[in-house]
Copies of this chain bind each other. A is one copy, B any other.
Amino acid sequence: MSMIRHFSGQDIVMMEQRSRAAFINSLSGFKSVSLVGTINNLGQTNLSIFNSVIHIGANPALIGMIIRPNSVNRHTLENLLETNCYTINHINKDIYKKAHQTSARYPKEISEFDAVGLTPEFHSKIKSPYVKESHIKFGLQFAERHDLKINGTILIIGKVIEVFVPENCLTLDGVIDVEKAQTITTSGLDSYHSTNRLSRLTYAKPDTIPSELIEK
């Protein structure tokens, strides 16, 4: 690595607004990137790209995401509170440009599915639309909301109520091979990346060193 550059809190405050957004958005490293599908009670669908989806817990099965209520996310928030449900759909290399385009500020009466050319897919357990072109997708029921006082964003937690996964991406120990499913990752605000597995490591215990895990 080259010389290390130091930025103080004051340096960050003084950055031009868009540079600061790009800089701070880079700090959390690689992020999940997914499409969140919702519908309102009038049957109007919405699709929005999120890079803040996180694991909250496995039992019960909970996934969280941060919503910025004044951003293009606002229709997602309105719809999921109206219907109590939403879908999360992984993004693969074939659809990432269309997925990125859902972040444009379309008026509420335009569905991003139509605008960007992705296909809504409906299943019986949940009203919300899935993305047909997505390989791994799951449906959620709204479960808990936390309003973050410090900047007005909202943590939405949902309970996983169904999951769709390609059969050949399931391993015997429960892991879904998201790389095999061609799921991609993102960094910053606009950079998309495919991945190469380095290895899976064995469960860490104090008196052993981790070794590479061989899948059954």
Chain A residues packing against B (C-beta within 8 Å):
1-9, 12, 15-34, 51-64, 66, 88, 90, 93, 96-97, 100-106, 110, 115, 125, 135-136, 138, 143-144, 146, 148-151, 153, 155, 157, 159-170, 173-179, 181, 183-185, 187-206, 209-210, 213
Q: Report yes or no: A57 in contact with B151, Cβ–Cβ below 8 A.
A: yes
Give the distance in Å from the alpha carbon of A178 to the alpha carbon of B206 in the complex: 30
What number of copies of this chain does the assembly contain?
Answer: 2
Q: In this complex, what residue of B is CB-closest to A1?
A: B166
Give the distance in Å from the alpha carbon of A22 to the alpha carbon of B209 in the complex: 21
Q: In this complex, what residue of B is CB-closest to A155?
A: B155
Give the distance in Å from the alpha carbon of A64 to the alpha carbon of B32 in the complex: 15
Query: How many Å from the CB of A22 to the closest CB on chain B?
Result: 4
The 9 closest A-B pairs by CB, nearest first: A19-B174, A22-B174, A30-B185, A26-B176, A193-B195, A29-B32, A2-B168, A24-B58, A104-B204
Q: Report yes or no: A175 in contact with B197, Cβ–Cβ below 8 A.
A: no
Q: Contacts A59-B17, A61-B20, A197-B193 known; A9 to B179 CB distance under 8 Å?
A: no
Instruction: Chain B residues near A6: list those with CB within 8 A.
Output: 162-164
Instruction: Chain B residues near A195: list those with CB within 8 A.
Output: 30, 185, 187, 193-196
Pick from B7, B24, B175: contact of A162, CB under 8 Å: B7
Give the distance in Å from the alpha carbon of A190 to the alpha carbon of B177 in the complex: 11
Q: Report yes or no: B54 in contact with A90, Cβ–Cβ below 8 A.
A: no
Q: Report yes or no: A192 in contact with B201, Cβ–Cβ below 8 A.
A: yes
Q: A24-B61, A150-B157, A185-B195 are in contact. List 4 more A-B contacts (CB 8 A).
A: A4-B166, A30-B184, A148-B157, A176-B188
Of A29, A93, A159, most B-chain CB atoms within 10 Å: A29
Pick 25 A–B contacts, CB within 8 A, sort by A.
A1-B166, A1-B181, A4-B167, A7-B164, A8-B125, A20-B61, A22-B173, A23-B175, A25-B55, A26-B175, A26-B176, A26-B178, A28-B63, A29-B90, A31-B55, A54-B54, A56-B150, A56-B153, A57-B151, A101-B210, A155-B155, A185-B193, A190-B213, A193-B196, A194-B196
